[in-house]
Structure 1
């Protein structure tokens, strides 16, 4: 089942819209510093930015600027011709704003020949395909045309009013349209005096809305112009060309040649020193406090200083217009950061045989020791050790340097330290310990005993936060660690260059990591107990870390020959499809060219009554457009299949062989425990959790994942409908529980109840609709969403949802109770106590609030499912070790586990796996696991 990821929140800011807005907010009382610079626009923009970050906590962010003339100016020389010259204060402000954004590590985006609207529109649409929820922050109404289920207009607060978020329903209400895309027709008809878009003479807002209601589009209006009367008829008939031009000018381009690489948009740690330097230059003294509060970089003393005078407070709850003036009192800022330079410490280099032996003796006497490896690579299967640091007391630590080019000497040193790493009595502390354990494993060193990973601990306490050591040190210890950039001049800790750094500097950097990580452990451990997360941490997440390390180490076998043959077969299929498409089209053309494809579909074949066009005037040919035309012509199905096969070939079949490790000949993914706030694991480099399964051709890729050799088989074990079973147990709905306990086909049982027909008379279509609502209800599916998925009308979808709640009344009650629990506590919990914090549950904005309400229902269900399979993985792993079995757990794909098993263990392993998974937790309904065996993953699934 595909679940909507609600954690990826992208904000795209229309720079000039916000800068002009900020400038005019201070127009009567401009802010001018001692150098005579008007800083109104800079101050207002940055204040708005910080307000946004504190309110909404975006995971991804970018600011988009306009640059020079665009394609619209070339098509219509009078475009924006009546705009006044940009005020000097704004021209001065923009370079400062861009410098500040650079220091904040927030990307500034633009594209020559296009406006900010176009860049934002393109990025929003690309992000939507990646599962992101995008908010376009602007005061410009034109953006309403881009609004969709996952794209919103985020209008900043105005005097006396809060922020406003436009969703589909808001756009429909405001513009009186049937869908957001019609906003383009509306704007084209009435024109825009600000942008000097002419529109149709004589057509104002009221008339444009009336035309939209009657005709739906500008083109349809023109085709029915003969039906009009009097002067309006004359104006419409006489101005069709200018009307279509106006529509093109008003259309936001969504195919700008710019890429959306999500990693470039993450909200990262700022360059604090540079930000403060810029604010001091601009004389933004209170803004420095606001900045540090926004990024959690502030001490209690600064908070007091910054908030003692309400007049000077940069509160996140105040809009730009509620705090028009900032008091310019000269507040002296003390250096509140603790650093290695101003903190007493004793870090010792341990680089002789005698010193290493003495260190080992010291380590063996400790109850808790933090260690950290320094290596040549972030890939644990390739990394060579450069050194290991140790700390067991605050402010003290030791560094053992190692030569990555002298493995024999490194092994000799590790032999001396082996008794420490093998000790079951000593608690080992670290940050991202799985990596260190895998690196040491390459040197035949096993890390035993109780482990405490600060990254995982912080993740449980603050699942939506960032869990890097630097950010934790700053927020929890008010300590600013050394930067690796100062040592090697490049980002990224584990680089080959680290081994070239002088030993004294290596020691300072490496030991500080262990020292600070140990201090973080002392902060995090009590919080785990306070939040009732200790059991989850000690009995699930930390044992699971060892399981994942073994899985990643083992890797999975890939049949490269099968993929090569599949690639050839796909080439043949694509070539055959290409010829069929050309036959249907009556000519050859570039299938991958949206323009050429659009001309064939809409101009030549005349498919679609009102085809959408992009801003450049070419037809839209996305998958959503083609799907709506599927029943009209054979070429559409062929095109959809062509695209599907092309993606399959490029993304998986041709890409997976490049992921094979040359040393092991296997594919080794990395499982991340601290990414998804729900508790689910993530897989990357490569992502093996998204291998296609929905289509028969996509499933063929799983054929290439094969057993170790001819004497082994793949075992696949999959929880059946686990989330539905969990919600039945958590809601305690008797009808749901009875259905599962009696082993009924739950989708058929639901269809029988909601359509009021006997079980034996439920049609395939009714069961399908029931299945959709069964899974959709967990994620707060609306009548609109259900209608889109099922093809039912909205009223039919609403009736189906109402009937569903009538059939399962306690489910509805449970969902309401979960929302109330979230409002009361600020979080919800899984059955095992995993928390999901929902600060937006109290939001005054209905859209933001409803999003949190859906998470209040969904997070405990999805999180409990994640917890259950983690328990099963730990128990299966442990039993197989105790029984000295050779069956290996290779992959976890949400509700499925994949194993590699010798033929002689197949029966025992299958039984052990099924029984353990089904008994992982006791709830009111039975957990059901389906187990399959085969030579490859597809055959086993």
Structure 2
């Protein structure tokens, strides 16, 4: 059968807006393009995957629908439409016009009604109909040859909702009864009130037993108890709800094939739109936007021409209306479309062609293979005459200690590079030839993630000296929340698409074995890396200078590269035997908890790791919640955040949470860490990430040693397994004391907060004394705990609700604590207000060293997005400054150790803590150096304090 696809535009628009809300896509002008990208991609996927014969996209019309006439409160609870959506809608419609996909709108009727009417007529005309929407209301339209088509989950798989799926979800044979279930249950998103006390589960049960709302009302006397009374008392509202939830099937719109026919797209228009939006991937695939099957000649071909003319006219009319400031379908003023739309198509086309990706095949270049030692000496001599050069290493893998180098590429001018294969027999000789080049302090070195290459060369006995430019870190300073990999940067700044590694080693392969593969192909790939990275440096560094971030790069980020390389190569020794003993203990604890949970549940065979079984016990059998939260698959929700709401109220929940904590501890650390010990060094070598967090803090991976638990005894026991390198060493742990609160005192200038630190008071006790009007001696431990939560919570912009959750107190009391805090420290409140206002003016906030955090949503009309940006505006200067201070301390410790011939080594950094593998004979000097460097890293209005401890393992030292 032929296929008809009907798309609910706004259901998808809102879906993609919220899907990308945490990290939206933006074009060069800063416009949020997530909605348009998601919408267009899904439409293209439908056309490629399903090859529909007919296709239409339905929009809600301006002015609302008949439902608001019969119920003025319909959808009245909805907040103002986010401006990013309002700006996106004209682009969505422009794309649809350019793709020649019919737009469906009927005054007074919602998209649901238009799709409902056309779906019924489509089935009658002999089509298989697919309604593209995630909206549950469409369930009532499902029938033979008419189904819901929706995207499921992050992986983008497709779910087809048919009669059987409706039966499985609601337990009804007739999908039309979905509207009756919704009427009883209500629809919060549309502000349709349901019968008080009746949720989805009871609504389904009533409809299964009695059928339609009308039949339920006729038989309401037979429904026992309060349920029947509530329904009887709600009769008029229930009838109204049924009208509101019923999708119309008689919208005045004809079903004509020619009205739903997709004609050939207008490639020039699409190219222009995609150029505006920076959709380079779509621009490279413009030829795949045509209908899957050519249209037959005759009437449908004539219809195609007519539709194209109509689309152009409609587009022009819409554009004219928008520029005239007329209202849109939300009843809000239309934001004028960008001026770029007024540019003639020819100019847009020229701009679009200019930004299409160049590739090695389309770009003239000169990549030379260096095949002998004599040639290499000539290349080194030539490169050495330049003030800087770019390099890149190729290796068989990412294990510095066990994988080996297989090649080196060098570049000094754009589009020119050399590639040097390092066969095993040649490696020692070649290393000696290139050594002087890398160790010349007068020549700057350029690389992408240069830390890795630095360690590769260090394994060959080569030390990189002189200034280093890392393009990954340069871009991180410019745009910390975007991607920093070379391919993404090349596409963004050079309009160039590099060769993918999979083209050399095959998809799914993870290692290079360059001795055997085609060396010419490897040369193109490897030399291109050096060439592209050189060009990226030339593009990015002037931007760094333009906004004055060169001091941040050269004083903090560049020196950190070598510091982190040293730490990673040193590694940490662990006591695997101690962890094995602890694993036995934790497994025993798990067994005890498992038995206790089964006893509480009264289910001897309960599988505690089964979310379904657990949910049925907690919410189906034990009924610990009156209206339990459900997952998308209609199972009871049992995730940790939700179960925390019931902690300390139900013993079984406490046991389950403890069980999960122990299990995570066991699998993530106790059993996993010994498996990560490097076979060559006998140590764990974590990788520190310098360009990941938006605030400037370091993170670590493989393994993540920064997330080892420290709040409870079981988590702290893991630290006990981290031990010195040998009996001649101890571990030193030096930790900043309340650095973020000290930074708040410095930035806010609050006199009371500064005074508390200057007098050496317990800052949390001092805050408690102010909050509860007591002397320091009178403050209780509980009051101090609340003050501590407030102190740190305020830094993170905590709300009264959030504080009430953390302290388990009423929201009113939490609000009083926050108000009291600001009354006690008025400078803090003033600082927070000022930094938010400044962020709105400038679009970013800065640390005390100039590091920027850009806040695109700081002036958003969307309260959720704006609130998050405001919290980041307050917190980023504090977290970022703390990160910068720690980095400066690490750099200074590194330099002092080198200058004074100290053999002890920093082996770990975790948040505000440094860990040193310290020679016993150097204890006094090392302790002094580390504390001095940490405490002098920045001059603040209050002193920085570092507390140092020493021990035979990390736990003892900390």
Question: Aligned to 1:799, which of 797, 803, 816?
Answer: 816
- 1:521–1:599 distance in 2 versus 1, CA, 3 Å: closer
- Quick check: 1:851 aligned with 2:871? no
Q: What whole-Å deviation, never above 9, does each CA across 1:734-770 have from its counterpart, x for those lacking one?
A: 0110001111111111111122222221122221111
1:685 Cα offset (Å): 1.2
CA distance, structure 1, for counterparts of residue 686 and residue 789 of structure 2: 32
Question: Partner residue of 1:568?
Answer: 584
- Retained in 1: the 8 A contact 2:370–2:420? yes
Superposed counterparts of 1:328-727, under 5 Å: 334=353, 336-403=356-423, 406=424, 408-490=425-507, 495-590=511-606, 591-601=608-618, 607-608=624-625, 611-612=628-629, 619-624=636-641, 626-727=643-744
- Could you tell which deviates more after superposition, 28-37 or 810-819? 28-37
CA distance, structure 2, for counterparts of residue 497 and residue 375 of structure 1: 8
CA distance, structure 1, for counterparts of residue 158 and residue 552 of structure 2: 46
- 1:295–1:466 distance in 2 versus 1, CA, 3 Å: farther
Q: Secondary structure at the match of 1:538?
A: helix
Q: What whole-Å deviation, never above 9, does each CA across 1:184-224 have from its counterpart, x for those lacking one?
A: 955667889999996866999xxxxxxxxxxxxxxxx9874
- Could you tell which deviates more after superposition, 465-474 or 798-807? 465-474
Q: Secondary structure at the match of 2:906?
A: strand
CA distance, structure 2, for counterparts of residue 481 and residue 280 of structure 1: 34
Q: What whole-Å deviation, never above 9, does each CA across 1:7-35 have from its counterpart, x for those lacking one?
A: 6679997979x999971139999999999
- Retained in 2: the 8 A contact 1:703–1:938? yes
CA distance, structure 1, for counterparts of residue 437 and residue 225 of structure 2: 84
Question: Aligned to 1:751, which of 761, 764, 768?
Answer: 768
- Retained in 1: the 8 A contact 2:131–2:146? no
| Structure 2 residues not aligned, in runs of 5+ | 1-20, 26-33, 47-53, 63-89, 106-128, 170-178, 218-222, 246-261, 284-314
1:67 Cα offset (Å): 10
- Quick check: 1:874 aligned with 2:891? yes
Q: What whole-Å deviation, never above 9, does each CA across 1:871-906 have from its counterpart, x for those lacking one?
A: 000000111111111211111111111111111112
- Retained in 1: the 8 A contact 2:575–2:723? yes
1:676 Cα offset (Å): 0.9
Q: Secondary structure at the match of 1:828?
A: strand
Q: Secondary structure at the match of 2:605?
A: coil
- Retained in 2: the 8 A contact 1:189–1:199? no
1:853 Cα offset (Å): 1.3
Q: Secondary structure at the match of 1:382?
A: coil
- Retained in 1: the 8 A contact 2:686–2:701? yes
- Quick check: 1:39 aligned with 2:101? yes
Q: What whole-Å deviation, never above 9, does each CA across 1:287-343 have from its counterpart, x for those lacking one?
A: 33333443474999xxxxxxxx9989999999999799x999795864654443444
1:432 Cα offset (Å): 0.8
1:720 Cα offset (Å): 1.3
- 1:291–1:652 distance in 2 versus 1, CA, 3 Å: farther
- 1:839–1:875 distance in 2 versus 1, CA, 3 Å: same
- Retained in 2: the 8 A contact 1:187–1:199? no
Q: How many residues align?
A: 779
Q: Secondary structure at the match of 2:774?
A: coil
CA distance, structure 1, for counterparts of residue 839 and residue 732 of structure 2: 40
1:84 Cα offset (Å): 8.9
- Retained in 1: the 8 A contact 2:98–2:266? no
Question: Partner residue of 1:786?
Answer: 803
- 1:524–1:491 distance in 2 versus 1, CA, 3 Å: farther
CA distance, structure 1, for counterparts of residue 950 and residue 894 of structure 2: 19
Question: Aligned to 2:849, which of 820, 832, 857?
Answer: 832
1:862 Cα offset (Å): 0.5
Q: TM-score when scaled to structure 2? A: 0.71
- Retained in 1: the 8 A contact 2:365–2:415? yes
Question: Partner residue of 1:109?
Answer: 157
1:678 Cα offset (Å): 0.7
CA distance, structure 2, for counterparts of residue 320 and residue 744 of structure 1: 60
CA distance, structure 1, for counterparts of residue 778 and residue 698 of structure 2: 41
CA distance, structure 1, for counterparts of residue 96 and residue 613 of structure 2: 59
1:854 Cα offset (Å): 1.3
CA distance, structure 2, for counterparts of residue 292 and residue 32 of structure 1: 13
- Retained in 2: the 8 A contact 1:200–1:235? no
1:498 Cα offset (Å): 4.8
CA distance, structure 2, for counterparts of residue 642 and residue 764 of structure 1: 29
Q: Secondary structure at the match of 1:901?
A: strand
Question: Partner residue of 1:272?
Answer: none
1:632 Cα offset (Å): 4.7
CA distance, structure 1, for counterparts of residue 752 and residue 834 of structure 2: 19
Q: What whole-Å deviation, never above 9, does each CA across 1:337-366 have from its counterpart, x for those lacking one?
A: 444344443322221222111122222222
- Could you tell which deviates more after superposition, 509-518 or 876-885? 509-518
Q: What whole-Å deviation, never above 9, does each CA across 1:42-69 have from its counterpart, x for those lacking one?
A: 99xxxxxxxxxxxxxxxxxxxxxx9999
CA distance, structure 2, for counterparts of residue 31 and residue 579 of structure 1: 60
- Retained in 1: the 8 A contact 2:99–2:266? no
CA distance, structure 2, for counterparts of residue 426 and residue 42 of structure 1: 64
1:80 Cα offset (Å): 3.4
- 1:292–1:704 distance in 2 versus 1, CA, 3 Å: farther
CA distance, structure 1, for counterparts of residue 316 and residue 235 of structure 2: 62
Superposed counterparts of 1:228-267, under 5 Å: 228=229, 231-232=232-233
- Quick check: 1:291 aligned with 2:280? no
1:718 Cα offset (Å): 1.0
Question: Partner residue of 1:49?
Answer: none
Q: What whole-Å deviation, never above 9, does each CA across 1:56-91 have from its counterpart, x for those lacking one?
A: xxxxxxxxxx99999x99xx9x9635569659xx99
Q: Secondary structure at the match of 1:525?
A: helix
CA distance, structure 2, for counterparts of residue 611 and residue 460 of structure 1: 45
- 1:35–1:617 distance in 2 versus 1, CA, 3 Å: closer
| Structure 1 residues not aligned, in runs of 5+ | 1-5, 44-65, 122-139, 144-169, 205-220, 247-278, 301-308
Q: What whole-Å deviation, never above 9, does each CA across 1:539-589 have from its counterpart, x for those lacking one?
A: 110100110011111111111101111111111112223333344445512
CA distance, structure 2, for counterparts of residue 34 and residue 773 of structure 1: 51
Superposed counterparts of 1:62-211, under 5 Å: 80=140, 107-110=155-158, 185=198
Question: Aligned to 2:57, which of 5, 19, 23?
Answer: 23
- 1:42–1:391 distance in 2 versus 1, CA, 3 Å: farther
CA distance, structure 2, for counterparts of residue 925 and residue 36 of structure 1: 61
Q: Secondary structure at the match of 2:916?
A: strand
RMSD after superposition? 5.1
CA distance, structure 1, for counterparts of residue 649 and residue 808 of structure 2: 17
